[in-house]
Chains A and B, each alone.
Chain A
Amino acid sequence: QQQVKQSPQSLIVQKGGISIINCAYENTAFDYFPWYQQFPGKGPALLIAIRPDVSEKKEGRFTISFNKSAKQFSLHIMDSQPGDSATYFCAASTMEYGNKLVFGAGTILRVKS
C-alpha cells in the first residue's frame, strides 16, 4: 500500500522558472516530512524538511509548503537552474514507525537552459 503519493512523475521547467512537486500522505501519525534530491549513481541527499507544526519552511531557493488538513505538502524550487536537474523524492516518517522513511515514487526534474 503506497502511503505517500507523489506527482508529477516528470517535469520540464525553463531556466529561471519555478518547479513545483506535490505529495499527499495517508497516515496522520506522520510527523516528519523531508525532501531528497538524487543524482544518477548517487544516494538521496536531504534538501529540506518540515514538521507539521509549521505551514511553510524556506531554505535558499527551496520552499516546503505544508497543509495538514489536506494531508499534502509540496516542494517549490525558485529560479530553477540546470544543475537542479535530478530526481526528487518526498518522504514521511513517524516516531511510531521507528523513524523509517516512507518515500514517494519520485519526480524526474529537467531544467532546460
Chain B
Amino acid sequence: GAGVSQSPRYKVAKRGQDVALRCDPISGHVSLFWYQQALGQGPEFLTYFQNEAQLDKSGLPSDRFFAERPEGSVSTLKIQRTQQEDSAVYLCASSLARTGAGYTFGSGTRLTVV
C-alpha cells in the first residue's frame, strides 16, 4: 500500500495480558519510529529503528515494552503484562531518509487495558 499500515486498529486487553502491535512501513523506508499518544496529548517518542538496527529506545517507559524490526521492514511493538496506564494510541511512522524529516504516520492502534 501507499501508506503506513498498523494492525490491529483497536485492541482491548485485560490487565496483565501481553499484546503485540504490528507496523507495516512504506516499502523502502529506512527509518521507523514508534510513538505513544495518550488521550488529548501529543505523541511521545518510544523507539527508533534504522533498517533493522534499533538505534534509540530511550522512550520505552519500562522493560515491559519491547520493539523489533528483524528484517528491516515490518516492526512489532510488544507490551508484556499490560497495565491500565498503557492505554493509549500507539503510532508508527516511517521515513525514506535517515534524517526522519517528513515522515509518514500510520493511523495507530488504540490500546485499551481493562
Question: CB of B59 within 8 A of chain A?
Answer: yes
Residue numbers in A under 8 Å from B33 (CB-CB)? 100-101
Docked Cα-Cα span, A103 to B36, in Å, equals: 11
B-facing residues in A41-57 (Cβ within 8 Å): 41-46, 49
List A contacts of B41 (CB < 8 A).
Answer: 105-106
B105 to chain A: which residues have CB within 8 Å?
A: 36, 43-45
A43 touches B93 (CB 8 A): yes
- Report whether over half of chain B's contact residues are helix, strand or loop; otherwise say mixed: loop
> What residue of chain A has the Cβ atom nearest to residue B100's Cβ?
A99
CB distance from B19 to the nearest CB of A (A): 19
* A60 on interface, CB distance cutoff 8 Å: no
Q: Which residues of B contact A105 (CB under 8 A)?
A: 41-42
Chain B residues near A46: list those with CB within 8 A: 102-104
- Residues from chain A with Cβ under 8 Å of B102 in the complex: 34, 46, 49
Size category, B interface: 20 to 34
- A7 contacts the other chain (Cβ, under 8 Å)? no
Q: From the candidates A43, A49, A97, A103, name the one contacting B42 in the complex (CB within 8 A).
A: A103
Q: Considering only CB atoms, which chain A residue lies closest to B31 in the complex?
A: A99
* A42, A43, A89, A93: the one within 8 Å of B100 (CB): A93
Given contacts A41-B107, A49-B101, contact A98 B56 (CB under 8 A): yes
The residue in chain B whose Cβ has the minimal distance to the Cβ of A51 is B101
B43 contacts chain A at the CB level, 8 A cutoff:
yes
A9: nearest residue on chain B (CB-CB)?
Answer: B40
Measured between C-beta atoms, what is the minimum distance from A32 to chain B in Å?
6
Given A43-B105, A44-B105, A49-B102: A100 in contact with B45 (beta carbons within 8 A):
yes
Q: Is the CB of A103 within 8 A of B44?
A: yes
Question: What are 27 A-to-B residue pairs whose CB atoms are below 8 Å?
Answer: A34-B101, A34-B102, A36-B105, A41-B107, A43-B4, A43-B91, A43-B108, A46-B104, A49-B102, A89-B42, A95-B99, A97-B56, A98-B56, A98-B100, A99-B48, A99-B99, A99-B101, A100-B33, A100-B45, A100-B48, A100-B100, A103-B43, A104-B42, A105-B42, A106-B40, A106-B41, A106-B42
